[in-house]
Amino acid sequence: MANIKIKKYVSRLFEKAGITIDGNMPYDIQVRNDNTYKRLLSEGALGAGESYMDEWWDCKALDQFISRILSINIEKYVKGNWRLLYHVIKSRLFNLQNIRRAFVIGREHYDLGNDLYAAMLGKKMLYSCGYWKEANNLDDAQEAKLDLICRKINLEPGMSVLELGCGFGYFAKFAAEKYGARVTGITVSEEQLKLGMEICRGLPVELKLEDYRNISGKYDRVISIGMLEHVGYKNYRAYMENVDKALKTDGIAFIQTIGANDSTTTVNAWTCKYIFPNSLIPSISQIGQAMEGIFVMEDWHNFGEHYEKTLMAWFENFDSAWPELKKQYDDRFYRMWKYYLLSCAGAFRSRHLQLWQIAMTKPGNKQPYCRVS
């Protein structure tokens, strides 16, 4: 297809989403390199993200642009090429989230720098969706999320909690201080562990550098917040089996995870390459099949619209802190991180992605009250 025809085809696709190339609206794309059209058409999400990082195009409101594009399911119009097919084949042939690869995400994403995350995430240093029902700012939304989780799992003083993927330790701190719990947390990030141990010093909290497949002991509650996205479809069953092994007979298990509307075996190629290596967003079907015969689903709560607000708050923090952060990171990193945060915000706004909280128990127990909102 000649370049002129490609440009016309891409223009017509964008028009379906109300987007005008070189238009005046904040969500209109401004093209600086005519090769952008071919790259968008042949490489999809990977080409879109890389060409933005290369400054081939720009947009005043990236989140609005992405939301509009996803709302027309633009992926069905984009043909695949070998670069995209490679990611699909690799995910089918190999277990990209096996125990040998467990610490890759820690090294390549979560260990980027605590200065970056401290600037972006706010006072609570929580790298997951906040709960904005009655909150007016990020810190309040994150504290409300922590309290919501503790109430959903019926947390009481003296209970033992295992947190799979403990981040910087703020759930552990909150549960210990506000609810009198004893918390064990594991992470695959050395930097998270270092800061988390400082944050939780003096509390009944133990944090470890460990993979979820190596856990031991029995706990009243087993939870994960924003960790299932790194487990992978070949390991969902093993995840549930390990939670089952660690959970006491009358205990409650809890998951907070980003959710996909469709079952897939790979995340989009740009996100996998630049942000979350070996990640995958689970679907209802994939989670349901993994828990079948092991757990009873007590509550499944979707508040995906709250992640848009969280991501926009993170970007505002990141953008405001950039004059100081750019001493450690280059301009290409800025465009990459901006694209990451705002494209994710657009994905949640368009309902392309969801945010789920799931409470589970073992069969044969009295039903607990987990439906708190």
CB 351 within 8 A of CB 286: no
State the residue for tokens 């922590």.
146
Closest among 166, 146, 164, 144 to 155, alpha carbons compared: 146
pLDDT computed for residue 78 by the predictor: 64
Domain spans of the chain, in order of start: 3-80, 99-361
* Residue among 200, 272, 344, 370 flagged as catalytic: 344
pLDDT computed for residue 146 by the predictor: 98
* Low-confidence stretches of the chain (pLDDT beneath 50): 1-2, 81-87, 89-91, 93-94, 96
> Positive or negative, the Cα torsion across 51, 57, 63, 66?
negative
Percent residues over pLDDT 90 in the chain: 79
Note if the pTM is more than 0.75: yes
What pairs with residue 186 in β-bridges?
A: 164, 208
- Read off the pLDDT of residues 139-179 as tens digits, 9 standing for 90 and up: 999 999 999 999 999 999 999 999 999 999 999 999 999 99
- Read off the pLDDT of residues 170-213 as tens digits, 9 standing for 90 and up: 999 999 999 999 999 999 999 999 999 999 999 999 999 999 99
Residue 344 designated active-site: yes
Torsion (CA) 296, 280, 167, 353 in degrees, nearest 10: -80
Domain 99-361 has CATH 3.40.50.150: yes
